[in-house]
Amino acid sequence: MDALLLLLGLAALVLSGELLVRYASSIAVKASIPPVIIGLTIVSLGTSAPEVMASVRAALNGNPGIAIGNVIGSNIANLALILGITALIHPVAVNRSLIRSDWPVMFAASILFVFFAYDGQLEQWEGGVLFACTFVLIAMLYWRSKKDRRPKEEEELDLGVEPVLHRPVIWLMSGIGLACAGLYYGSEWFIQGASGLAVSAGVSDHVIGLTAVAFGTSIPELVTSGVAAMKRESDLALGNLIGSNIFNIFLAIGVSAGITAMPVDGQAIASDFWWMLLVAAMILPMMIHQRLIHRWKGIILLATYAIYITVVILGT
């Protein structure tokens, strides 16, 4: 029953996040909101919705280990597992801005996350600081987009803005309401299933968060990156993965800790945070070298993820 709840919740989270992006983007376009604003707010929130909802629900249900483990595990999976698979499908081109600005922001966000959590407790004010960084990031990206003037169609593609749904506004609003309901109940089922599996398997919430929950909530990124690679648009995949890691910290952890203070598992402090920083640091020289994530680099990333999961399982 727990496994069924987990799968149902995951399906609801993924589908609802996709619906939220499609409907909200369509309303924003109808309201003549610039594509850059849509991409930096609605689309980013939609792609991070599974992590955000799963983490917030876990925190509210008294499972902070799942909330924190989910973000750590998702960030590791995004850069080691998903980027590795993407590179094997097709080498990933690296845009110069990813090296100059996006990667440094991601690494700084990771350091700040570790710094706040290192005393064994994420306080509400620390969650508030992380959440506030979301708006600073959006302002920075908006300013950068204004300097980088490109055709509207190219900008929409780069930001992941979906094609407009030509439906009445009331129909689109109903779709947003349905998507929000799906996110709410999907997160409820997902966390119930994950918690039940943790209890029955005799492992901690933190380990379940690092593995099953983290992989599940990273499925949208896996699908998006895989499709981008097959379309030979793999350069977009890397930007999406780095952006997802940033929003996972600022939104998922920021909102969760902002609602309620969360204790941090000792295993996270002793090991998992360092793995997250190691993987984030690993991809910088890979990005700089010929500005291409080659297939052999993808193999290294996949091997790193396999070693990490082995360490987690053996440590339980």
Nearest in space to 219 (alpha carbons), one of 196, 192, 195, 190: 190
Quick one: pLDDT band at residue 208, thresholds 50, 70, 90?
confident
Quick one: pLDDT band at residue 228, thresholds 50, 70, 90?
low
pLDDT reported for residue 275:
95
pLDDT reported for residue 97:
78
pLDDT reported for residue 106:
93
Return the half-sphere exposure (C-beta side, CA atoms, 13 A cut-off) of residue 115.
9
pLDDT in tens, 261-312: 899 988 889 899 999 999 999 999 999 999 899 999 999 999 999 999 888 8
Distance in angstroms (rounded) separating the CA atoms of residues 213 and 54:
8
SS3 63: coil
Q: What are phi and psi of 111, to 5 degrees?
A: -60, -45
CATH number at residue 184: 1.20.1420.30
User: What are the Cα distances from residue 58, in Å, to 141, 198, 209, 216, 239?
Assistant: 30, 13, 10, 14, 28
* Structural domain range at position 267: 2-314
Average pLDDT over residues 52-64: 79
SS3 119: coil
pLDDT in tens, 248-272: 899 889 999 998 889 998 888 989 9
- Residue keyed to tokens 């994420």: 122
Residues 6 or more apart whose Cβ sits within 8 Å of residue 169: 27, 30
pTM of the model: 0.78
Alpha helices in the chain (DSSP H): 2-30, 35-38, 44-60, 64-76, 83-89, 96-97, 103-117, 124-147, 152-159, 169-201, 205-208, 214-217, 219-230, 234-247, 254-259, 266-267, 273-288, 295-314
Quick one: pLDDT band at residue 45, thresholds 50, 70, 90?
low
For residues 30 and 12, is the Cβ–Cβ distance under 8 A?
Answer: no
pLDDT at 148 over 70: no
Quick one: pLDDT band at residue 161, thresholds 50, 70, 90?
very low
Distance in angstroms (rounded) separating the CA atoms of residues 240 and 78:
10
Average per-residue pLDDT for the chain: 79
pLDDT reported for residue 274:
95
In our burial notation (b when 16+ CB lie closer than 10 A, e otherwise), range 207-223 reads bbbbbbbbbbbbbbbbe
Nearest in space to 110 (alpha carbons), one of 155, 59, 84, 74: 74
Count of domains observed in the chain: 1
pLDDT in tens, 183-199: 667 766 776 777 677 67
Quick one: pLDDT band at residue 101, thresholds 50, 70, 90?
confident
